[in-house]
């Protein structure tokens, strides 16, 4: 396999068998890893080219009028196809058009081997975020001047293919051998390519760069000797902190050209250090652009270096956690010295368990997605330092496989595991133990509190970034949840239709060992109990689903109906139908747990434990614990409710699997946070762009449990000039949410968005508070004749991935992006890609959500006002996050349009207005605002 023809066609559509035709050919022949010939031509399709294709490709009817027909060009293309492997990017598209053209012109079909560069790149570039031609061209620094032109696309694909061959050629031979077997079920002839390479490598008897890899138990890992041998952290000797801060004016610009230490940054650095010195807590609201990450990292590193105390920095999202570790901290390490010890640690499930991954190769009944996932992980292991599975872009079906091979406490063999010395999770924990500053996330930090600090090293100082989420994360982690999906997954791990359950593995071990009759009987009982548990659980969750659908209301944040489980009414309604089914499930889970325990104890008492059996026993022990946990949670949530928690269920009503999700969380989180966290720490700094409401921190202080604590609160405004950078508009003539019908309001929203888009040229992010409203407006916009040249992107319609939609929005002209929930924060679209932000409604959480109801009821018991004490502050903080999506840099300019007149007309509207920077608000009829928007954009 050393001759390849890379082919790309531009066509009138994507249906070769239904009359679509080729309009351009691009072909590149490769021999012995060299480009030897290029061929390209326009093609007269004999039919009109659709306007969309003309716009996409730049190929018009006039351009192809004098071009040769396909039957004239095939004689030139056929010699290039002799004795080659056909290569394409999404190859079956191009191959389908080639075969149709050959058939139409009376030629035999192409019968050679085929390679898809998408499939090959997924295998060899597992960390790549996207596999489009443009993504891969960027990855390999390939100039791709004319996308959607066949000659340019074919040449770019050829260069990508050569780069992939080089990458494949430099993989260690044991990896090549494993990939050869794994790829036999791939869509194209990737396995033949790898076998060809394997044979040539054997002939040469060469291994590349052997020293950079760690060969162990038939696998190849990136050599991590330097990482595993942690050096002693160095302690720098500094003068006073004030002199150190002053020196940053000279030091930081040397590390970051054009850097200027901002006034707010300097003040934050001073105040955070003072809080550490005084052993007090500190809340800091820092507006967009203040540079708060640097402002808290510098004093944290300084404090750790000078005092020897560990400082934990926690973020809400893993993305920000990685950003701090990969972007900000390397610069600061140069400031504080290369020996500065900084660690990043995530939750255990983020790490690959090498023992489980090794054991997975005993399973031979893998589908395509699992084969691809295994191949991706094999490739990734040769260069990952962390073992963090978030680094890998697995296929959709690979997420299930990932669940089977991720690290978890229940099945860990610890030091008895042959992979312990190379374990990614234990390495991360050890690195954290030896480090000055530990970067983690809220979820892991709070989980550590629950496990009595068995994950993170002991620490007395912490920085909580994105602190407006801290209470919500605590609420979730201090509560419990269980879903029908989890129950079914547990059963699948015990008995599987594909023969990969723990009972199936035990059966294979039994065939090689001398099992007693009692042990064999326990295995049979476990199988029966597992299937009976599955059947009983299916019956229970079906009844729960029916009850939830009759009682529930759609939740804006999850797009799922939610129904509160209130003990008094629940016990009456569930006693006749649900409770008998629940008891049946609990009885069978108990029988299942007992049977699995008998197997576990019997094997340990009767058999010699081999390595493979030890691994199975460890997984079996984990499943025994999972049985007990699920039995306890089902009973706790559905039978044993108390007054300190709120209980509810959510339903997956938009898919065929009809998932049921059960939850319980504390009604009051603040006392738990105060007792278990804040009173245990010397100093905790909490920072965010949104902590104050109506220019007061009292709401955040109360909900975090910091009342009557030694706490200070500071506000640093954004350095941006919002008067010059932002135009704030509220239409006065739109239908009212309070007085007009929903349909009138939705019609008005769709009309306004259409008119705005035509003035702004798209470039609009539209924030909704419910998926239902988003869908209805999306449909109206799609039907609008005036927006035919515009692209409408809807969250959970065009894609459920926020990252994918944001990326597409940035790269698409005349685009409107409709988002909800997650789009209110964490979306960063600087520059001209975003010129208009529309907030459709003030972001109140739905009052009928069970948690809102329960916490509202609790406030009422204290004679409080739930709306003003909870609903309004929550909405204001979310509103501030949404407003912050528009201006991200000093150069950004744009319009904010709020379509909810309550911000002007309701008495609580001032809470929202006072949360914004001091900029003029234009409240006037929409036609006047459109004229103003057009003039304002024209000035830019």
CA dihedral 194, 197, 201, 204 (to 10 degrees): 170
Better pLDDT: 224 or 710: 710
What's the pLDDT score for residue 663? 96
What secondary structure, in 3-state letters, does 22-50 show?
A: EEEEEEEEEECCEEEEEEEEECCCCCCCC
pLDDT higher than threshold 80 for residue 207: no
Distance between CA 161 and CA 47 in Å, rounded? Answer: 33
Backbone angles phi, psi at 234, to 5 degrees: -85, 145
Q: Any residues with CB less than 8 A from the CB of 205 and at least 6 apart, and which?
A: none
pLDDT higher than threshold 70 for residue 210: no
Distance between CA 770 and CA 773 in Å, rounded? Answer: 6
Question: In this structure, are strands 22-31 and 34-42 parallel, antiparallel, or unpaired?
Answer: antiparallel
pLDDT higher than threshold 80 for residue 211: no
The pLDDT > 90 percentage for the chain reads 64
Q: Which of 452, 390, 406, 457 is nearest to 428 (CA)?
A: 457
Distance between CA 337 and CA 329 in Å, rounded? Answer: 11
Go through the chain and tell me how many residues it has: 940
User: What's the whole-number mean pLDDT along residues 550-562?
Assistant: 76
What's the pLDDT score for residue 742? 84
In sequence order, the β-bridge partners of residue 220 are 215
Q: Which of 666, 505, 703, 706 is nearest to 596 (CA)?
A: 505
What's the pLDDT score for residue 802? 85
CA dihedral 361, 367, 368, 373 (to 10 degrees): -40
User: What's the whole-number mean pLDDT along residues 795-820?
Assistant: 87
pLDDT higher than threshold 70 for residue 909: yes
Q: Which two tokens stand for residue 479?
A: 């509560």
Question: How distant, in Å, are the alpha carbons of 814, 817, 876, 933 from that of 762?
Answer: 4, 9, 27, 13
Among 452-456, 605-609, 717-721, the range with the most confident prediction by mean pLDDT is: 717-721
Contact between residue 357 and residue 404 where contact means Cβ atoms under 8 Å apart? no
Neighbours of 93 (CB within 10 A): 16
Q: Which of 381-390, 510-519, 867-876 has the lowest mean pLDDT?
A: 510-519
What's the pLDDT score for residue 55? 80
Distance between CA 43 and CA 60 in Å, rounded? Answer: 11
CA dihedral 297, 300, 302, 303 (to 10 degrees): 170
What's the pLDDT score for residue 202? 77
pLDDT higher than threshold 90 for residue 323: no
Q: Is 878 exposed, middle or buried (0-12, 13-18, 19+ CB in 10 A)?
A: buried
What's the pLDDT score for residue 747? 93
What's the pLDDT score for residue 229? 42
Question: Residues 380-401: pLDDT tens digits?
Answer: 999 898 999 988 988 888 887 8
What's the pLDDT score for residue 813? 84
Question: Residues 480-494: pLDDT tens digits?
Answer: 999 999 999 999 999
Name the 3-class secondary structure at 897.
strand
Distance between CA 380 and CA 387 in Å, rounded? Answer: 9
Backbone angles phi, psi at 712, to 5 degrees: -120, 150
Q: Which of 34, 2, 56, 25 is nearest to 158 (CA)?
A: 34
What's the pLDDT score for residue 228? 43
- Please, what is the average pLDDT of the chain? 90
Backbone angles phi, psi at 711, to 5 degrees: -140, 140
Backbone angles phi, psi at 768, to 5 degrees: -110, 165
Question: Residues 428-451: pLDDT tens digits?
Answer: 999 999 899 999 999 999 998 887
- The answer for 491, left when phi > 0, alpha when psi is -120 to 50, beta otherwise, is alpha
Question: pLDDT confidence of 364, banded at 50, 70, 90?
Answer: low
Q: Any residues with CB less than 8 A from the CB of 935 and at least 6 apart, and which?
A: none
User: What's the whole-number mean pLDDT along residues 893-907?
Assistant: 94
Distance between CA 904 and CA 730 in Å, rounded? Answer: 8
Name the 3-class secondary structure at 592.
helix
pLDDT higher than threshold 60 for residue 359: yes
Question: Residues 598-639: pLDDT tens digits?
Answer: 999 998 887 777 777 888 888 899 999 999 999 999 999 999
Please compute, for residue 693, the number of CA atoms within 13 A of its CA located in the half-sphere on the CB side.
21
What's the pLDDT score for residue 786? 84
Question: pLDDT confidence of 365, banded at 50, 70, 90?
Answer: low
What secondary structure, in 3-state letters, does 344-389 show?
A: ECCCHHHEECHHHHHHHCCCCCCCHHHHHHHHHHHHHHCCCCCCEH
Neighbours of 891 (CB within 10 A): 11
What is the distance, to the nearest Å, from the Cα of residue 858 to the centroid of all Cα atoms in its chain?
A: 34
Backbone angles phi, psi at 129, to 5 degrees: -75, -25
Q: Which two tokens stand for residue 462?
A: 């912490």
Distance between CA 71 and CA 109 in Å, rounded? Answer: 14
Backbone angles phi, psi at 683, to 5 degrees: -150, 130
Question: Residues 222-249: pLDDT tens digits?
Answer: 887 654 444 444 445 567 898 889 888 8
What secondary structure, in 3-state letters, does 734-803 show?
A: CCCCCCCCHHHHHHHHHHHHHHHHHHHCCCEEEEECCHHHHHHHHHHHHHCHHHCCCEEEEECCCECCHH
Contact between residue 362 and residue 176 where contact means Cβ atoms under 8 Å apart? no
Contact between residue 61 and residue 48 where contact means Cβ atoms under 8 Å apart? yes
Q: Is 882 exposed, middle or buried (0-12, 13-18, 19+ CB in 10 A)?
A: buried
Distance between CA 445 and CA 439 in Å, rounded? Answer: 10
Q: Which of 70-79, 201-210, 364-373, 477-486 has the lowest mean pLDDT?
A: 201-210
The alpha carbons of the chain give a radius of gyration, in whole angstroms, of 31
User: What's the whole-number mean pLDDT along residues 739-757?
Assistant: 91
Among 77-81, 394-398, 559-563, the range with the most confident prediction by mean pLDDT is: 77-81
Q: Is 836 exposed, middle or buried (0-12, 13-18, 19+ CB in 10 A)?
A: buried
Please compute, for residue 411, the number of CA atoms within 13 A of its CA located in the half-sphere on the CB side.
26
Q: Any residues with CB less than 8 A from the CB of 368 and at least 6 apart, and which?
A: 185, 186, 187, 397
End-to-end CA, the chain: 57
Contact between residue 167 and residue 187 where contact means Cβ atoms under 8 Å apart? no
Place of tokens 């405004």: 717
pLDDT higher than threshold 70 for residue 595: yes
What's the pLDDT score for residue 826? 81
Question: Residues 34-52: pLDDT tens digits?
Answer: 999 999 999 999 999 998 8
Question: pLDDT confidence of 800, banded at 50, 70, 90?
Answer: confident
């Amino acid at each position: 396999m050393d001759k390849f023809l890379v082919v790309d066609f531009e066509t009138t559509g994507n249906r070769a068998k239904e009359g679509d035709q080729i309009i351009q050919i691009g072909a590149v022949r490769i021999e012995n890893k060299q480009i030897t010939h290029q061929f390209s031509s326009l093609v007269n399709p004999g039919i009109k080219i659709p306007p969309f294709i003309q716009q996409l490709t730049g190929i018009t009817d006039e351009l192809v009028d004098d071009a040769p027909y396909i039957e004239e060009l095939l004689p030139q293309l056929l010699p290039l196809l002799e004795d080659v492997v056909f290569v394409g990017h999404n190859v079956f598209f191009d191959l389908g058009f080639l075969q149709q053209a050959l058939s139409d012109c009376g030629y035999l079909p192409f019968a050679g081997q085929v390679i898809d560069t998408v499939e090959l790149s997924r295998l060899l570039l597992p960390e790549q975020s996207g596999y489009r031609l443009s993504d891969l061209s960027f990855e390999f620094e390939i100039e791709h001047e004319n996308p959607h032109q066949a000659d340019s696309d074919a040449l770019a694909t050829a260069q990508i293919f050569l780069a992939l061959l080089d990458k494949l050629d430099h993989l260690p031979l044991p990896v090549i051998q494993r990939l050869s077997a794994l790829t036999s079920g791939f869509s194209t002839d990737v396995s033949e390519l790898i076998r060809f390479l394997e044979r040539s490598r054997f002939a040469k008897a060469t291994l590349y760069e052997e020293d950079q890899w760690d060969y162990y138990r038939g696998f190849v890992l990136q050599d991590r000797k330097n990482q595993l041998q942690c050096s002693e952290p160095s302690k720098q000797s500094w003068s006073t902190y004030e002199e150190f801060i002053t020196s940053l004016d000279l030091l930081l610009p040397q590390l970051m050209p054009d850097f200027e230490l901002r006034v707010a940054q300097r003040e934050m650095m001073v105040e955070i250090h003072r809080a550490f010195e005084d052993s007090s807590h500190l809340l800091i609201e820092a507006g967009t652009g203040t540079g708060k990450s640097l402002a808290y990292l510098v004093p944290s590193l300084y404090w750790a270096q000078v005092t020897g105390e560990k400082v934990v920095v926690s973020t809400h999202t893993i993305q920000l956690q990685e950003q701090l570790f990969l972007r900000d901290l390397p610069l600061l390490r140069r400031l504080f010295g290369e020996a500065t010890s900084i660690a990043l640690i995530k939750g255990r499930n983020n790490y690959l368990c090498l023992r489980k991954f090794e054991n997975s190769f005993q399973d031979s009944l893998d589908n395509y997605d699992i084969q691809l996932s295994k191949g991706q992980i094999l490739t990734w292991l040769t260069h990952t330092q962390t073992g963090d599975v978030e680094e890998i872009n697995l296929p959709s079906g690979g997420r299930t496989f990932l669940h089977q091979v991720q690290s978890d406490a229940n099945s860990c063999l610890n030091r008895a595991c042959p992979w312990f010395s190379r374990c990614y999770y234990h390495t991360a924990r050890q690195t954290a133990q030896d480090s000055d500053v530990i970067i983690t996330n809220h979820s892991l930090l709070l989980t550590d509190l629950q496990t009595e600090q068995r994950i993170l090293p002991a620490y007395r100082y912490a920085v909580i970034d994105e602190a407006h989420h801290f209470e919500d994360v605590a609420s979730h982690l201090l509560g419990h949840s269980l879903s029908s999906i989890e129950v079914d997954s547990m059963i699948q791990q015990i008995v599987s239709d594909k023969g990969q359950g723990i009972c199936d593995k035990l059966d294979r071990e039994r065939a090689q060992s001398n099992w007693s009759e009692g042990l064999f009987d326990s295995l049979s009982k476990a199988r029966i109990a597992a299937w009976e548990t599955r059947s009983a659980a299916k019956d229970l969750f079906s009844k729960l689903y029916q009850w939830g659908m009759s009682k529930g209301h759609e939740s804006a944040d999850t797009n799922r109906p939610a129904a509160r489980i209130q003990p008094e009414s629940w016990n009456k309604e569930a006693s006749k139908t649900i409770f008998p089914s629940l008891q049946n499930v609990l009885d069978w889970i108990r029988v299942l747990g007992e049977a699995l325990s008998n197997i576990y104890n019997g094997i340990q008492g009767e058999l010699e434990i081999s390595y493979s059996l030890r691994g199975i026993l460890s997984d079996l022990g984990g499943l025994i614990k999972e049985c007990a946990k699920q039995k306890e949670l089902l009973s706790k949530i559905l039978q044993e409710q108390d007054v300190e928690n709120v209980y509810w269920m959510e339903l997956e009503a938009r898919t065929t699997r009809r998932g049921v999700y059960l939850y319980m969380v504390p009604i009051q989180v603040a006392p738990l946070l105060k007792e278990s966290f804040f009173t245990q720490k010397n100093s905790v700094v909490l920072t965010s762009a949104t902590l104050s409401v109506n220019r007061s921190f009292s709401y955040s202080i109360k909900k975090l449990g910091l009342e009557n604590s030694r706490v200070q609160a500071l506000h640093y405004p954004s350095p941006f000039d919002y008067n010059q950078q932002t135009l704030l508009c509220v239409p006065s003539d739109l239908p009212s949410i309070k007085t007009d019908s929903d349909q009138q309001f939705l019609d008005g929203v769709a009309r306004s968005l259409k008119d705005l888009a035509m003035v702004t040229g798209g470039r609009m992010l539209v924030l909704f508070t419910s998926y239902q409203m988003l869908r209805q407006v999306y449909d109206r916009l799609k039907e609008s004749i005036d927006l035919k040249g515009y692209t409408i992107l809807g969250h959970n319609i065009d894609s459920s991935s926020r990252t994918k939609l944001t990326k597409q929005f940035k790269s698409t002209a005349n685009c409107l992006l409709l988002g909800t929930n997650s789009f209110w924060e964490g979306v960063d679209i600087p520059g001209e890609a975003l010129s208009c932000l529309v907030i459709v409604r003030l972001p109140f959480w739905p009052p009928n959500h069970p948690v809102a109801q329960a916490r509202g009821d609790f406030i009422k018991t204290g004679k409080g006002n739930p709306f003003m004490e909870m609903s309004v502050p929550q909405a204001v903080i979310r509103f501030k996050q949404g407003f912050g999506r528009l201006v991200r840099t000093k150069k950004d300019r744009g319009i904010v349009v709020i379509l909810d007149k309550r911000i002007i007309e309701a008495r609580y509207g001032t809470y929202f207005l006072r949360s914004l920077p001091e900029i003029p608000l234009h409240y006037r009829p929409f036609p006047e605002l459109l004229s103003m928007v057009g003039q304002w954009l024209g000035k830019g």
